[in-house]
Structure 1
Amino acid sequence: MPEFDSVIRSTRTVVPGGIRPVSVGVRDGRIEAVRPYSAAMSTGEVVDLGDTALLPGAVDLGTGVHAPGEELAESYRRMGEAALRGGVTCAVVAPAPGRPAITCADSLQVHQRAAAGAEVSVFFLGGVTHGTSPLDLTDLHAGGVVAFQGSLSDGGAPDMAALGDAHLRKTMAEIATLNGLLLVHAEDARELGSPPVSADQRPPRAERRGLERVIAAARVAGARTHVAPFTAAECAALLAAAGSVGVGLTAHTCPHYLCLPSEFPGPGSAVHGCRPPLRSDANRKALWSSLLEPDSPIRTVGSGHLPAIGLYTLEWSLSALWTAARRRGRSLADLARWTAQEPADLVGLSGRGRVEEGYDADLVAFEDQVTVAVPHQDPSPYAGMRLTGRVRRTWVAGRASRPGPHQR
């Protein structure tokens, strides 16, 4: 009998501590061994990637799924296919917008059943709104949500109303008793213009005011809190200062905020519907500076995929992020940390996010030197761009995916 179901070799494997030439032995969907590249290993299948990089599969935090007018199960199937093409092996699904919103145990079960056909692993965030009770939080936690999500404005509209300060503090206290995590869309509704559909009507001060509210509430309640998404670079100092007053506050951003200034996409691009909006090129550069600070509180980067507004980003987010990161001298280890290790650690997915013995065999073969032209008709905000980096192959629990149109 072979010792391993398969062995995957790469001279450039991202492992804890750096990039090494190793062979990864997979058995029953898990990484059973990480050995030297040339090690003799008894196996039924060897995949030798040569110099193609091997990364941990991305854990996409806050993935939107439900497309308007589409059956929920079909939306999960399509999301899974797009995720695999983009090197995402695990989606942590946002509670809204969607039908039904994941705000109680019954709606969670509807999504769990619908997600059964997805080709990637799926976990869920529980939605928090003004009507959420302590019992709802407890039931969602018992049902398996890995964290909770709420908004101070219209981040989950129309399914999740904005939280006021009193309810925010109360919710944080309840989540703290569950040893849970709260993700917050931190734009303050009182600072938004009318109608709040453009960048001019959603100024950076809305994020600043929202951050101040979040910090004040978390300081009282003691809850772990993750601002998602964070875009206004002028608020980075406020975010970083939260730790000095005893608040465990971290943040999440998306590749389109890091790669696309508001001046770039055409007027018809769905990316203009983002909440918060794309900001200026100066903000984009400052956001990168904040991300690259030692011990930056911006810990996670995810696709921001949101079919509800026509924003399809899963396929290209890894390549877009790498294109910008390599220009700044960052390594594939940074890419894996932002997209896999930190998201998995944040929500407690202890067996994911690393190429390490005992972890799930969620892996991505990534051609980091290859230039890819995104088709002009692509529904993503990266349409027509030339990106560096292509997902060649993906494994979920050791099972290789079928190549998509961009995985050749």
Structure 2
Amino acid sequence: MVDLVVRSRRVITIGGEVPAAVAVRDGRIVAIRPYAAEVAASADVDLADTVLSPGLVDTHVHVNEPGRTEWEGFATATRAAAAGGVTTIIDMPLNSLPPTVDTAALAAKQAAATGQCHVDVGFWGGVVPGNAARIPALHAAGVFGFKAFLADSGVPEFPPVDRDQLAEAMAAADALFLVHAEDPGHLREATSSAAYADFLASRPAVAEHAAVATAIEVARAARRRVHILHLSAASALPLIARARADGVRVTAETCPHYLTLDAAAIPDGATEFKCCPPIRDAANADQLWEALAAGLITCVVSDHSPCTPELKRQDTGDFAAAWGGIASVQLGLPVIWTAARARGFPLADVVSWMATGPADLAGLEHKGRIAVGADADLVAFDPDAEFVVDAHALHHKNPVTPYAGRTLRGVVRATWLRGFPVAGGAPGGRLLTRGS
């Protein structure tokens, strides 16, 4: 007897898409049987031709609570995640107050999250000037790694580090280090303007290229793992490829907005499209897709970074003054599937980029896959259904998104977290620590 069986003619497993019956006991997958197999179960769900996917893992989410809960909070962010088929998020260390740069701040964030989460939640630590001595204790407390900015983060309490400070941090712990890779020496101050082209010109691709080079050089010398966050500029890809060939442990992610949006199509004043690094042109996006296909980019994550509508300066459309961040944790799966399908990629590739890849990055071997022994985090996904994005119908706190009005393909029909349906009731998410 098992607790649950979910059947589908299209189950996306580690070995590919197969008809199967997935058996769950005590929150874990205990067997994968043929689709029509008889299995004694307390509940038996037959999805027929609806896809059964592993829950997605989004390792790049800014929840902002405590301190800036009016921007976003654990209740709303995780409800949005579950509605989008995301069953695990890892929260970034900045935009909350205090930022997660020591164990006291981590404890404050964990306390704020307790009892509010509809999906499982882990935490990254932060690297800021002067906190290298606190990194070992923060690592021991269970953060999944450490994020650093090489340029201004946008919030004063999380200042950037230089090359030497990044090296000092890497020397402090044998951990994964995440780098927001933009070189301040190549950035130009954005002038007040409603023209997206002016904002784009202030953050050229060479800024990413130079910062990626710095991150790789420091990681090479320190013999540490380094992960390049939200890669926008395809010109940096050869650097990553060469470093990997040389044995440097470097990985990279990108985001739905860099893969699917085109700078040339962004209207003037449409500050909902502002993010850093910026959305670039369609040819650049083509190269990012090629890097995904080649395995050079291993993860697609949201970089969900919301704020209040007022901070987006939609009244003036001033890109220089607007907060940079895109809210998309609920929409990443249909956004990427719509584009991937048009380019000829199978859904299994999307699952690899958005579930297995991020889980592997964070060392969550029991997440992001349908396999015996994995957590029963499951998603019923209708890949053929279409919908039009209504920002006011999304679950994140503030109804701002660059995808409003777009027709997307792929609808999440149901989400299970460790075998239990996530349907907007009492939060059932757990707080994760590294190794848990």
TM-score, normalisation: structure 1: 0.93
Q: Which moved more, 1:307-316 or 1:367-376?
A: 307-316
Tell me the amino acid that sits aligned with residue 392 of structure 1: R
Give the C-alpha shift of residue 146 in structure 1. 1.0
Deviations 1:343-400 (A, max 9, x none): 1111111211110111101111110011111126552211111111111110111110
Q: Percent identity?
A: 40
Alignment-derived partner of residue 193 in structure 1: 188
Tell me the amino acid that sits aligned with residue 128 of structure 1: V
Alignment-derived partner of residue 100 in structure 2: 102
Tell me the amino acid that sits aligned with residue 346 of structure 1: L
Determine the C-alpha separation between the residues in 2 that align with 1:326 and 1:126.
Answer: 36
Tell me the amino acid that sits aligned with residue 62 of structure 2: G
Secondary structure of 1:171's match?
Answer: helix
Determine the C-alpha separation between the residues in 2 that align with 1:379 and 1:360.
Answer: 33
Alignment-derived partner of residue 312 in structure 2: none
> CA contact under 8 A between 1:393 and 1:403: conserved in structure 2?
no
Determine the C-alpha separation between the residues in 1 that align with 2:387 and 2:279.
Answer: 24
Change in Cα spacing, 1:89 to 1:212, as seen in structure 2 (3 Å) is same
Change in Cα spacing, 1:376 to 1:149, as seen in structure 2 (3 Å) is closer
Q: Which moved more, 1:30-39 or 1:197-206?
A: 197-206
Give the C-alpha shift of residue 156 in structure 1. 6.0
Give the C-alpha shift of residue 67 in structure 1. 7.0
Alignment-derived partner of residue 251 in structure 1: 252
Determine the C-alpha separation between the residues in 2 that align with 1:73 and 1:266.
Answer: 24
Alignment-derived partner of residue 125 in structure 2: 126
Secondary structure of 1:39's match?
Answer: coil
Deviations 1:236-257 (A, max 9, x none): 1111111233311110110011
Determine the C-alpha separation between the residues in 2 that align with 1:390 and 1:32.
Answer: 27
> CA contact under 8 A between 1:73 and 1:114: conserved in structure 2?
no
Alignment-derived partner of residue 414 in structure 2: 393
Alignment-derived partner of residue 43 in structure 1: 41
Determine the C-alpha separation between the residues in 2 that align with 1:102 and 1:72.
Answer: 18
Q: Could you list the structure 1 runs, at least 4 aligned residues long, displaced by more than 4 angstroms after superposition.
A: 67-70
Secondary structure of 1:292's match?
Answer: helix
Give the C-alpha shift of residue 270 in structure 1. 4.2
Alignment-derived partner of residue 62 in structure 1: 60
Determine the C-alpha separation between the residues in 1 that align with 2:343 and 2:108.
Answer: 43
Alignment-derived partner of residue 34 in structure 1: 32
Alignment-derived partner of residue 23 in structure 1: 21
Deviations 1:310-349 (A, max 9, x none): 6321111110001111111111111111111111111111
Q: Which runs of no fewer than 5 residues in structure 2 stay unpaired?
A: 193-198, 308-322, 393-398, 426-436
2:368 aligned to 326, 334, 353, which one?
Answer: 353
Report matched runs for 1:9-408 at 5 Å: 9-66=7-64, 70-71=68-69, 75-116=73-114, 117-134=116-133, 136-155=134-153, 157-176=155-174, 180-195=175-190, 198-293=199-294, 296-308=295-307, 309=323, 311-375=326-390, 379-402=400-423
Determine the C-alpha separation between the residues in 2 that align with 1:64 and 1:96.
Answer: 7
Aligned length: 396
Change in Cα spacing, 1:73 to 1:388, as seen in structure 2 (3 Å) is closer
Determine the C-alpha separation between the residues in 1 that align with 2:153 and 2:341.
Answer: 31
Change in Cα spacing, 1:155 to 1:220, as seen in structure 2 (3 Å) is same
Give the RMSD, CA atoms, in angstroms. Answer: 2.0
> CA contact under 8 A between 1:196 and 1:202: conserved in structure 2?
no
> CA contact under 8 A between 1:73 and 1:115: conserved in structure 2?
no
> CA contact under 8 A between 1:271 and 1:278: conserved in structure 2?
no
Secondary structure of 2:155's match?
Answer: coil
Deviations 1:255-278 (A, max 9, x none): 011011122343444443311011
